[in-house]
Chains A and B, each alone.
Chain A
Amino acid sequence: MPPAAHTPPQNMAFTPQGAPLRRRTAPGSASRLSASFSLNPADSDMSLSDMSINLMSPSKGRAAFLSEQGHMGMAQVSPRIRSPLTRAGPSRPPPGSEPRPTTRSRSRFAGDETTEADEDEEDEDDRWGMIDSMRVWRNDAIIHHLYETAMFWGDKILSWTGDSTDAFWVAQAYFLTGHYLQAERLLTDPRPPPRQRGDKGKAKAPEDDDDQGLLRRLIDDHLACRSLAAQCLIAQEKYHEALELIGESNPFREVGATSRPGTDGVKLHSAMCHTRGILHLRLSSLERAKECFIEALIIDVKNYDAFRELVEGQMMSATEEWEFINNLAYRQQLANEEADFVRFMYISKLRKDAHVSEIAAARKQLVETYQLDDNCDVLVGLAEELFARYKWEDCYVVTSKILARMPGHPGALPLHLACMHHIPRLHSSLFMLAHDLVQQEPQAASTWYAVGLWYFSGKRWTEARRFFSKANLIDSRFAPAWITFAHAFAWEGEHDQAITAYSTAARLFPGSHLTLLSIGQEHLQLSQSALAEEYFRAAAAIHSSDPLLLNELGVAAYNRDDFSAAIDFFERAIAGAGEMQGSAAEWAATHCNLGHALRVQRRYTEARAAYAACIRLDPTNSTAYASQAMLSQLEGDVRTAIRLYHSALSLSPQDPVATILLEMALLEQVEAHDPTTLPGLPAAIARTDLDPFSVPKGNAAFGPLPVEADPATLDEAGESVDLSLSAGSTIGTLAGGGASTSRARGYSISTTANASYRTQRYPDTTFNESSAMDIEED
């Protein structure tokens, strides 16, 4: 590809392809350096690390493409071509001719370099040899974290050459050691012309001197320097200045997308977009930050930093995210296999509340095709999925595995902590872990999140909030701490404050429907159903299939008396929960809600089934019992209703509704029933026209009735009726004495008659009358 194709016509300051002018003038390595800088010197990070791999295992086949890349990046930045050290492996071309054999892999530069090769040869002399080897010292020192060394020798080189590349490396060393101001100064101060030692001045582009005069800033010439300067400013929290430096938006937008698959590392433009996004984030303009990250990812799909900000920072809604990540230009930018791999990797890290099966399939691919079954990031994907299904125990197992391999894994740790919060038996371990984290990583947001969570588990809301806000001070983009901070208010019953806190979280994480959902829930708690529903709708716009959200929508619909809509929502929620294959017990309340809606619609049978489902899932749900009781009462089965109200009240004795309903039911029962209509009474005793003197006593199931009292008593009393009647009718005006004697006689006869009757009926029963007579119950 001819260089002209992607070389902007002019511009020294923001040339994506590098300054052809300088390239022409700069000799040898310097020219190649500047080219690489202007093209994509952000490689420097990448290539450094790659280089170190390369150094340690120069001939490992597996790292072949890595070494290729590292080699390439390093070759671009380092002046090693001159050095006798050919550590980069056997494939490394001989010094001087370095670019040429690799032209196939770096066709993009090939044109440039071949044109410059002649010049390289011309300007070669022995002093270059010394500077070049010092450059090697410098770069090796950086690799080996000997920053002082790097700065020391780099400074000397810079003094000699005044070259922008050398300045860049010194600034890099400053940056890495945290001397941000120095780095910034070096990059932004107008540089005096280099002290020329001999004809070293030739190293500087004569055109620069001629055209721009002596005072030129590095950042004006080199994009990489500009980027580094911006990083320095960010590190010093001078965000506005940084943004000024780097520009509010990408000036290379129209050319940024041009690239070919599989040829290069991570693009500087993409990195700069990412930096810009970070700046916008810091300056709280989230929309622009999001645009920047999106742009960064479009320019280079490999830019995981941008991906992470977008996805883990929940800047996009679930659907938006899904669409965007799926439609990135993998194929255009990467080779086939790489494209697939990157795509699967990204998909596996997407939010787990929709497209669960696709995500699981992507993870399966990663495990099976790419043998990444032990990779922490892939495992985090699994853990997230389990967490989204409320499978705390399983998730905990996975996160424990990840953390054992990689302590403090940023993806796994918050999940791990959340699981520990959800499993009561692990609360002590949570305490221990928080303790350890405070000792090991007092500067990490997740550490203080862990501490806050420990207090949260113990329902000590104030302390919990203190530590959550500490976590947020450390990292304002740490979503879990924001949400739990708000949760702490909500749990404490401080609904207004909770709403404020959730709103903050919602502003910071616009892609999260959970915050909106929570705001809605708080409004519901405050009986502002209409307002709540608006929030639920907003949440539904982000993620409409969340069962929890559907449940809340159902509640809102129920509150405005739209019961059929409510039923619809609840049913969808339950169906959605079923698809999640998570623990079904979490959805007991939804079943109960469904029951309520059905009950209001007079669909009693279905309502009963819904309540039964609720009780099956959660046997401690008193509302479900009370509602079942209501159904029974509505259907006229007061006795069952009373029994069920009792079940409800035994679970929550203070429930005012159930108490009132029970009293109503009891009253109804007393009105409607008399003591004879009890279930369980023997038929004989339940007769309304019962004559106690003619009841054949006994329960057929068990034989004769238990005799506690003297049964003859009744018979005796019963007999007297007939007797007195007969006395009245027959004896007439007889004197009292005669009547009493005849009564006595009549009595004795009738008793025997009755006794024989008894013996006929219960042949094997013998009554112990006398003993029963004596008993006095307390």
Chain B
Amino acid sequence: MPSPSPAAKVQMAHDLRSTIRELKDRGLLVAAKWANELLLALPKEHRTAPYLPFSPPQHQVGLSTPPRAPRPSVAASEFMPSPPRFDMEVFPTNAEAGPSRARTRHGIELEEEDDVLDEDEFQLAKSYFDIHELDRVVHTLKNARGSRARFLKYYAAFLSADRKAQESLHHFLDTKQERLALFPALSTILADIGDDTEPYLMYLRGMVHMRLEQRDEAIACFVRSIRDRPYNWSCWSQLAQLVDSADKFIELKEQLPSSPMLTFFAIAVMLDLHTATDLVMTMISELQETFPNSVHLKAQKALVYYHMRDFQTAEKEFDEVQAADPFRMEEVDIYSNMLYVMDKRAKLGKLAHEYAEIDRNRPEVCCLIGNYYSSRADHTKAITYFRRALMFNREYLTAWTLMGHEFVELKNSHAAIEAYRKAIDINAKDYRAWYGLGQAYEILDMPMYAIEYYNQATSLRPYDCRMWTALATVYEGLGRLSDAIAAHTRALLGADRQQTPQILTKLANLHTTLDASRGRASAEGTGYHRKLLALGAKDGREVEELAASYIAVAEWEMRAGSASGDWALAATYLEKVAQSNALQRDKAEELIRELRMREARA
């Protein structure tokens, strides 16, 4: 995608500014923050350049606004200055022709008549909202008619219902209670909003649908909202959560306007689907040309490296992010995950202390601290912090999964299962939670469940060695060797240099056992032994490690008879083993004797 023209960037800055104001008015603070960061990421010359709406930008970025639905005519319009909405509806393409029209088009300078009418009530309600007196907001705005005020009212009702539902829980893992407490309230809100197509109300509807687990409706709402207000990042990220497969993403891509925001979205989705590749990297680089100052993009880059398991580079990137914006807390949880995996405890500790200093009440920071305690094997304390993170954000996937891990460490499989299930409820794409579930059930000796969950994990990560290996182990435990072989075979696809020989050994052994049970020698087993030898030779391994394979191949060649069997090779291999310190030395020598005898006979 080519970088947008300067005029388009000026336009973008303008649109961002107006969206930010709308978002702030509606209490969508996270989205406002994000949009503001994006605005500042634009080069200064574009931001300060005068915005000349009557010279239409060559490249209309992401604002292909469909004609608005006619507003409900109200009594107010008779004495309030009416915006030139007729022109807009009839000639939507000419909307930029005059300054006033362009303004109305983006709906800020000229608020809706209803919004102007209940401005005072709205401002009061907004004050209540800002100090979290949510029910009071609803009460103050109960007769509000402007879309802005109505949004605030329903949004406050939504937040209030959510908070009450959570407070009503006796145990924080109780899904049923939560639903019972939440669903009726949400259904009421949904019914109250009705069929309003105002973009922000659409977004809110989408959120409610999402909480009610009505995914398709939610997606439809988000898409409509995005088409009207592309700079509402919260909407994009919620939509990203709903994308559960590559196919879904492609389908959505068709419906969405092409814009830098779509690229941002695509990056988020791909990271979420664990399909981070260099393609994503390219996308980020392109965006960085438009938004050179964006710390968000830098952090995304670090995430991509992390997902590509290039931990060193990722760490470097994360450090740069921290240097660029030392008080940024967004991705610090993932950074801490990575440090945990890299076993860099000292650095994790330093980071934990630094960020705890900044703000302990951020879920990301709680997560970081939890990871820190976990790295010190203080699992109970770690769980406390993950719970704390979840108190701030109940939909916080990472914390649920990590808490599950901690419960596993504490041998509390049931709690672990609950936590993993929560994570899956939030985002069924989280392969780690599926994998964790599988592990927990394996510990509980319920192999059927374990297979099911490992299966889910493998379908999410078809090339991940660990999932397949785990699955194969369960099949092995059940005595279903051919399935175990199939699983191991697939594990091979994603295995690294350490894992490959192990898997090859397993495969060889499995084939041998399987064929032995059928009373025959194993050709496949020998094949895998050969592969092991080839790999071992390449890596320069010691004979001792490969002794078993040497003997297996030699036995195979000997068994085949002098005509087809490669006795010379067998002899070579056996000699190797016999000369080494391997455990199988005696057996090798015995085989050599046998080989000599057979050679002599033949």
Docked complex: A719-778 residues within 8 A CB-CB of B: 719-721, 723-724, 727-728, 732-736, 739-740, 743-744, 747, 764-766, 768, 771-778
8 contacts between A and B (CB under 8 A): A650-B175, A697-B463, A702-B275, A707-B277, A714-B500, A716-B538, A736-B576, A739-B569
Docked complex: B484-507 residues within 8 A CB-CB of A: 486-487, 489-490, 492-500, 504
Per-residue contact bits, chain A 615-633, to B (CB 8 Å; 1 contact, 0 not): 0000110100000000000
- Contact yes or no, A732 B568, CB < 8 A: yes
* B90 adjacent to chain A (CB < 8 Å): no
CA of A740 to CA of B572, assembled, Å: 11
- Contact yes or no, B278 A764, CB < 8 A: yes
Docked complex: B98-137 residues within 8 A CB-CB of A: none
Number of interface residues of A (CB under 8 A): 72
| Best-buried of B421, B458, B534 by chain A (most CB within 10 Å) | B534
For B340, the closest partner residue in chain A by CB is A778
Nearest-Cβ distance from residue B536 to partner chain A, whole angstroms: 9
List B contacts of A688 (CB < 8 A).
Answer: 486
Per-residue contact bits, chain B 561-588, to A (CB 8 Å; 1 contact, 0 not): 0000010110011011000000000000
- Contact yes or no, A620 B183, CB < 8 A: yes
With A651-B176, A727-B569 known as contacts, the answer to whether A690 contacts B490 (CB < 8 A) is yes
* B309 adjacent to chain A (CB < 8 Å): yes
Known: A619-B212, A680-B459. 14 other contacts (CB 8 A): A620-B180, A652-B176, A666-B452, A667-B448, A669-B451, A675-B490, A685-B463, A705-B277, A706-B274, A716-B534, A717-B532, A727-B569, A771-B312, A775-B496
- Contact yes or no, B313 A690, CB < 8 A: no
List B contacts of A670 (CB < 8 A).
Answer: 448, 451, 478, 480
CA of A760 to CA of B463, assembled, Å: 21
- Contact yes or no, B310 A768, CB < 8 A: yes
- Contact yes or no, A719 B534, CB < 8 A: yes
Per-residue contact bits, chain A 672-697, to B (CB 8 Å; 1 contact, 0 not): 00111011111001001010100101
List A contacts of B490 (CB < 8 A).
Answer: 675-676, 685, 690, 692
- Contact yes or no, A713 B275, CB < 8 A: no
Nearest-Cβ distance from residue B83 to partner chain A, whole angstroms: 38
Docked complex: A639-683 residues within 8 A CB-CB of B: 642, 650-653, 663, 666-667, 669-670, 674-676, 678-682
- Contact yes or no, A701 B176, CB < 8 A: no
For A732, the closest partner residue in chain B by CB is B568
* B460 adjacent to chain A (CB < 8 Å): yes
CA of A89 to CA of B533, assembled, Å: 126
Number of interface residues of B (CB under 8 A): 84
CA of A407 to CA of B307, assembled, Å: 69
List A contacts of B273 (CB < 8 A).
Answer: 702
| Chain B interface residues (CB < 8 Å from chain A) | 175-176, 179-180, 183, 212-213, 245-247, 249-250, 270, 273-279, 282, 307-313, 340-341, 343, 421, 425, 448-449, 451-452, 455, 458-460, 462-466, 468, 471-472, 475, 478, 480, 482-483, 486-487, 489-490, 492-500, 504, 527, 530-535, 537-538, 566, 568-569, 572-573, 575-576
* A90 adjacent to chain B (CB < 8 Å): no
List A contacts of B452 (CB < 8 A).
Answer: 642, 666, 669
CA of A642 to CA of B459, assembled, Å: 15
- Contact yes or no, A717 B535, CB < 8 A: yes
* A708 adjacent to chain B (CB < 8 Å): yes
Nearest-Cβ distance from residue A577 to partner chain B, whole angstroms: 18
CA of A60 to CA of B440, assembled, Å: 86
Query: Which label, helix, strand, loop or mixed, suits the secondary structure of the B interface?
Result: helix
List B contacts of A653 (CB < 8 A).
Answer: 176
CA of A93 to CA of B497, assembled, Å: 123
CA of A80 to CA of B469, assembled, Å: 110
- Contact yes or no, B537 A743, CB < 8 A: yes
Nearest-Cβ distance from residue B481 to partner chain A, whole angstroms: 11
Nearest-Cβ distance from residue A361 to partner chain B, whole angstroms: 29
List B contacts of A735 (CB < 8 A).
Answer: 572
- Contact yes or no, A666 B278, CB < 8 A: no
For B531, the closest partner residue in chain A by CB is A717
List A contacts of B183 (CB < 8 A).
Answer: 619-620
Nearest-Cβ distance from residue A742 to partner chain B, whole angstroms: 12
| Best-buried of A680, A699, A768 by chain B (most CB within 10 Å) | A680
- Contact yes or no, A721 B531, CB < 8 A: yes
CA of A212 to CA of B573, assembled, Å: 144
CA of A338 to CA of B465, assembled, Å: 90
- Contact yes or no, A713 B313, CB < 8 A: no
List A contacts of B535 (CB < 8 A).
Answer: 713, 716-717, 720
For B569, the closest partner residue in chain A by CB is A728
A674, A699, A717, A771: the one contacting B313 at CB < 8 Å is A771
List A contacts of B459 (CB < 8 A).
Answer: 678-681
